[in-house]
């Protein structure tokens, strides 16, 4: 950990784009991942934890503890994930060597609370799955908002269409009650919604660059993306994919800058109406260039300074080809 790096707690439902976000976070020079919790979303919390451990071993980062998080959302039952997006095993059918490391003895929510106390005022929380664990941690430690440095959430759709309903995005829709608690807590939140993640598209040449890498982490990510691209071909009309979770990681790290990101009031629709799971962001200031809103604490990223995909690919190749080519090859031969 250099003097300029920040401790990160990552909460994820690994997932293909979660895998990319994790790899990006490992590669980011200013991020120090000190703990990872899993949550049901793209896959079950257990499968997400399995994938996370295996990816960490492939990347040679077996020192990072992984905690199992909530299987069910706060209300209702886990719906079974999205195998049509991420594959039955959550990582597009790619078979990774099973990690030798096991799960932490604490839950994901307990880990987050512990890390918040261990890194008071400096821990960055990056949540790229449903917000069940974060809501649980707020219940365990009501002072959590004062303890952490920042909270970045991949989730929601502000002015863009939803992806799981006309107006709801999957992470939020999978646990609207948890998301409502997290957005209402006394901390500043950066929301990275579909508005920008659907505009951050990885194309086939990017995927080929990962596949052609000498390092196994980019190779594996390129293989997973083959599955992901096939799903997104039905959305975009060509093989490519949105980059939801990695973009949130890059914004949390500070490597990518928002061009439009008003701080507004935001709530989550927890009704049983057609808006269930919608992030209701009050963007009525649009026409006056988003004047400041007193008491607002949710920064909604609506546009980026530059295209994200090249930065993502360069960061992954630059880091893993430099550090893990030999290690990871050995790992995949094990």
Residue 160 sits at φ, ψ, to 5 deg, of -85, 160
User: To the nearest whole angstrom, how small is the minimum distance from the Cβ of residue 266 to its own copies?
Assistant: 8
166 binds its own copies (CB under 8 A): yes
Q: Are 181 and 138 in contact (CB under 8 A)?
A: yes
The one segment of 89-97, 105-113, 157-165, 323-331 that binds its own copies by CB under 8 A: 157-165
Q: Are 54 and 17 in contact (CB under 8 A)?
A: no
Q: In the stretch 247-286, what mask flags binding to its own copies with x, by CB under 8 A?
A: ------------------x-x-xxxxxxxx-x-xxxxx-x
User: To the nearest whole angstrom, how small is the minimum distance from the Cβ of residue 277 to its own copies?
Assistant: 10
296 binds its own copies (CB under 8 A): no
User: To the nearest whole angstrom, how small is the minimum distance from the Cβ of residue 333 to its own copies?
Assistant: 40
Gap between the Cα atoms of 7 and 35, Å rounded:
9
How many CB atoms neighbour CB 145 within 10 A?
Answer: 17
121 binds its own copies (CB under 8 A): no
290 binds its own copies (CB under 8 A): no
Residues shown for the chain: 334
230 binds its own copies (CB under 8 A): no
293 binds its own copies (CB under 8 A): no
- Residue owning tokens 């194309």: 203
Would you report the helix, strand and coil content of the chain in percent, each value rounded to 5? 40, 15, 40
142 binds its own copies (CB under 8 A): no
User: To the nearest whole angstrom, how small is the minimum distance from the Cβ of residue 265 to its own copies?
Assistant: 8
Catalytic residue from among 6, 86, 173, 244: 244
Q: What does the radius of gyration of the chain's CA atoms come to, in whole angstroms? A: 18
User: To the nearest whole angstrom, how small is the minimum distance from the Cβ of residue 303 to its own copies?
Assistant: 14
Tokens encoding 91 = 């990582």
Question: In the chain, what is the greatest distance between 2 CA atoms, to the nearest angstrom?
Answer: 59
Could you say which residues in the range 167-226 bind its own copies, by CB under 8 A? Answer: 167, 198
The per-residue DSSP string of 127-149 comes to: E-S-SHHHHHHHHH-TTHHHH-S
User: To the nearest whole angstrom, how small is the minimum distance from the Cβ of residue 236 to its own copies?
Assistant: 5
For 135, which DSSP code? H
Gap between the Cα atoms of 210 and 159, Å rounded:
32
Answer for which of 162, 193, 226, 246 binds its own copies (CB under 8 A) is 162
CA 274 to chain centre: 25
Active site residue 63: no
The C-alpha angle with vertex 218 and arms to 194 and 23, in degrees rounded to 5, equals 55
Answer for which of 236, 255, 258, 332 binds its own copies (CB under 8 A) is 236
Answer for which of 63, 77, 100, 289 binds its own copies (CB under 8 A) is 289
Q: Are 329 and 289 in contact (CB under 8 A)?
A: no
Nearer to its own copies, 125 or 167 (CB): 167
Gap between the Cα atoms of 272 and 279, Å rounded:
14
Catalytic residues: 244
Summarize as ranges the residues that interact with its own copies (CB under 8 A): 159-163, 165-167, 198, 235-237, 265, 267, 269-276, 278, 280-284, 286-289
């Amino acid at each position: 950990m250099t003097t300029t790096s920040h401790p990160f707690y990552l909460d994820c439902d690994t997932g293909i784009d979660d895998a990319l976000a994790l790899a990006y976070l490992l590669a980011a020079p200013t991020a120090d991942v000190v703990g990872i919790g899993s949550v049901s979303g793209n896959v079950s919390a257990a499968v997400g934890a399995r994938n996370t451990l295996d990816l960490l071993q492939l990347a040679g980062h077996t020192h990072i503890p992984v905690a199992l998080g909530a299987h069910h959302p706060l209300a209702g039952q886990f719906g079974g994930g999205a195998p049509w997006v991420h594959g039955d095993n959550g990582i597009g059918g790619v078979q990774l060597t099973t990690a030798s490391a096991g799960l932490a003895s604490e839950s994901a929510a307990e880990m987050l609370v512990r890390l918040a106390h261990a890194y008071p005022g400096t821990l960055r929380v990056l949540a790229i799955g449903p917000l069940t664990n974060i809501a649980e941690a707020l219940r365990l430690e009501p002072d959590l908002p004062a303890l952490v440095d920042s909270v970045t959430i991949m989730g929601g759709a502000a002015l863009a269409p939803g992806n799981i309903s006309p107006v709801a995005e999957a992470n939020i829709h999978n646990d609207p009650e948890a998301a409502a608690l997290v957005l209402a807590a006394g901390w500043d939140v950066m929301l990275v919604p579909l508005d920008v993640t659907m505009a951050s598209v990885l194309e086939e040449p990017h995927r080929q660059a990962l596949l052609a890498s000498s390092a196994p982490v980019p190779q594996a990510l390129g293989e997973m993306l083959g599955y992901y691209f096939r799903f997104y071909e039905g959305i975009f009309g060509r093989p490519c994919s949105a980059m939801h979770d990695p973009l949130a990681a890059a914004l949390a790290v500070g490597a990518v800058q928002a061009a439009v990101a008003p701080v507004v009031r935001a709530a989550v629709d927890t009704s049983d109406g057609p808006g269930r799971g919608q992030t209701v962001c009050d963007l009525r200031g649009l026409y006056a260039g988003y004047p400041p809103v007193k008491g607002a604490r949710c920064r909604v990223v609506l546009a980026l300074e530059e295209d994200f995909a090249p930065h993502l690919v360069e960061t992954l190749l630059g880091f893993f080809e430099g550090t893990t080519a030999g290690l990871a090859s050995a790992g995949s031969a094990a």
